[in-house]
Structures are given as C-alpha cells and as structure tokens.
Amino acid sequence: MKSVVAPLTQLHHVLNEDMLGLNNVLISRLTSDVPLVSVIAKHLLNAGGKRIRPLLTIASQRLLGTLKEEVLYLGAAVELIHNATLLHDDVVDGSMLRRGQETANALWGNTSSVLVGDFLFSRAFQLMVMCKTEGVLNVLANALANIAEGEVMQMTQSHSLDLDRETYLLIAQRKTAGLFEAACTIGSMVGDGTPEQIQALATYGRTLGLAFQITDDIFDYFPPDHYGKTPGDDFFEGKVTLPIMILADILNGRIVSSGETQSHQADATWLNSLFIEQATRTPDDYARVCDLCVQHNVFDHCMHVATNFAQQAVEALSLFPETHIRLLLQEIPPYMVDCCRDVCPS
C-alpha cells in the first residue's frame, strides 16, 4: 500500500475542528434512556469508520465559504443514515464482522440491530428537519429511498450471472453512490452554491461513490491489510459483483483478453453452476475464482472502470478555485483507485 499520507486523512486534518463539532453532534444524538440503544449505536459509530460521507458534506460547504453550523447537523444526519443502513445490511447479509470487529447482530442479535437502526434513522430525520436550507430535506429523503430500492435490487438481481453492467451500476448508484452524491449536494446547497456548483459537487460525489463501490468489490477478492472486510463476504453470499461479471464475460468469450486463443467453456460451466445451482460455496471454490481472476486479468478490467469514474470525479471540481480543500478532494479518487491497484495481483 502507499506510504504517503492519504488525502482523506489530510482533509480530516484540515477540517479537524469542523469534524470535532460534528462528532459532538453525533454523541449528543446517541443519548437514550434505553441503555441498549446507546450501547449498540456507540459500538457501531466507534468501530473505526472514516466518516467519509459527513467529511464530504462539510468539505463541499467549506469549498464555498466559511463553516455554517447547519452543515454539522446535516453531516451528522448523513453519518447516522449510513450507520443505520450498515446495521440493517449486516442483519440481511448475516455478517459477523464489520471493520474488523464483531457486528452488532453478532453481539446483540438481529432484532436489537434492526430496532437500533430504526432509532438512528429517526435521529437523522430529527437533524434533517432542523435545517432550513430549501431542498435539503428532499435530497436526503430521496437518497434514503434510493438506498432501500438499491438493497432490494441487489437482493433480487445480483445473484445471477445474467446481471448486466447497466443494472450493476444502477444498484451501485442507489445503494452506495447516492449517499455520496447527497452528502456533497447538501453541503453545496448550505454553502449557497450556484446551480452549476451544486451539480458539479453532485457529480463528484456520485462518481467517487461508484469508484468506491468498484474498489470495495475488488477488495472482496484481494483485500489489503487491516481493511476490516472479511475476504470473500460477497462471494460466499453468492453476490455477483463486477469482478465476477467480467470473469464470466471472459470465460464465455464476450470479452477477449490480449493473447487469449483457447476455449474456457469448462471454467465457464463451473462458474455458472457455482452461482446459479449451488446453495453454498467453499473456500476451495473461492481460491479457484481468485486464481481465475488473476489468470484472466480480471482486475485490470475492473480497474479500468474504476479509473474512469475517478477521472470524472476529478474533472467535476475543475470549475472551483484551486484552494487546499479542492486539491485534496481531487486527490481522493485517484488515490483510492491506486491503493486498490497496489493490492491487485498483476
């Protein structure tokens, strides 16, 4: 992995006082007279997340001027929404680890996790309605609806090798990139951005979020050290993500890699059976898929898609003055993709 200080960490440092203010808002909103609610909520929020979404909310507003207190409440709302979805996701997926720690459902059970997730959503809405900037509530409400739709789409459509690239990206847009987009949009709205500036930051958030999702899907097969995600989570759940889609296309001859001349029908038939017919997948199956991905340069194809989105994110900020915050925001997408490239076998 890269040895230089990540631009995300640098941005945290530049906006440290703002982020401390946001953390104070979060702590105040996790108070409950029901002890288990506070215990579970604080367990999740203290589990080492990067706070990237609220950081983007604050950075988008600060790109346009001095800090406005309203943006702290909105950033906290974004973080609460994100963490509520994590609680629900872990229940749906049966995940036992999150960021290298036991999940709330592993410690306290599915029922408690779902109900505390609902509590976090309610706290987020309390913060949202405190903000008076016109249109902000609509942006976040739409993002939340899209997240739910994206989760259902993933549940019903991402367990098939017939999943096409357009549908995959639509799921990623709704499930992941939409909240990145909303975080940047509301920050620019509170900052009184022009329509062009608001649209540019929305584009930045959306394309950064898509690149983020693609790298996360790659890390399911080759995670870096201390990533916090259990290798093969998506694979063992039978989720078809971009690496598997591209591998299937190569094995079936829909994508021809450089120098490929032989048939891979036996591997294509096995992969189809693995995801369509088998109820479970084994560690040996996982190792074979990883080997096939390396053999057929699957990650080069994935990185090409992620790099295109990262470039779009960088270009979206070109209309803003070259402040330190803008330059750091521009460094985040390519740095994220480069970190992924560093761990992918060549």
Neighbours of 330 (CB within 10 A): 21
pLDDT score of 100: 65
- Per-residue exposure over 149-179, b if at least 16 CB sit within 10 Å of its own CB, e if not: ebbebbeebbeebebeeebbbbbbbbbbbbb
pLDDT score of 258: 58
Give the three-class secondary structure for 97.
strand
- Whose tokens are 């950064």? That residue is 208
pLDDT score of 128: 94
310 touches 264 (CB < 8 A): no
Q: What is the DSSP letter of 275?
A: I
- Separation in Å, CA 227 to CA 160, 176, 236, 307: 27, 18, 18, 20
Look up residue 242 and give its two tokens. 């971009």
Domains and CATH numbers, the chain: 7-343 (1.10.600.10)
pLDDT score of 199: 98
Tens-place pLDDT, residues 78-93: 999 998 998 888 777 7
pLDDT score of 93: 72
pLDDT score of 3: 41
Q: What are the residue ranges in the chain where pLDDT is below 50? A: 1, 3-4
Give the three-class secondary structure for 303.
helix
What would the DSSP string read from start to end of 128-172? HHH--STTHHHHHHHHHHHHHHHHHHHHHHTTSTT--HHHHHHHH
pLDDT score of 209: 97
pLDDT score of 13: 95
pLDDT score of 33: 85
pTM of the model: 0.92
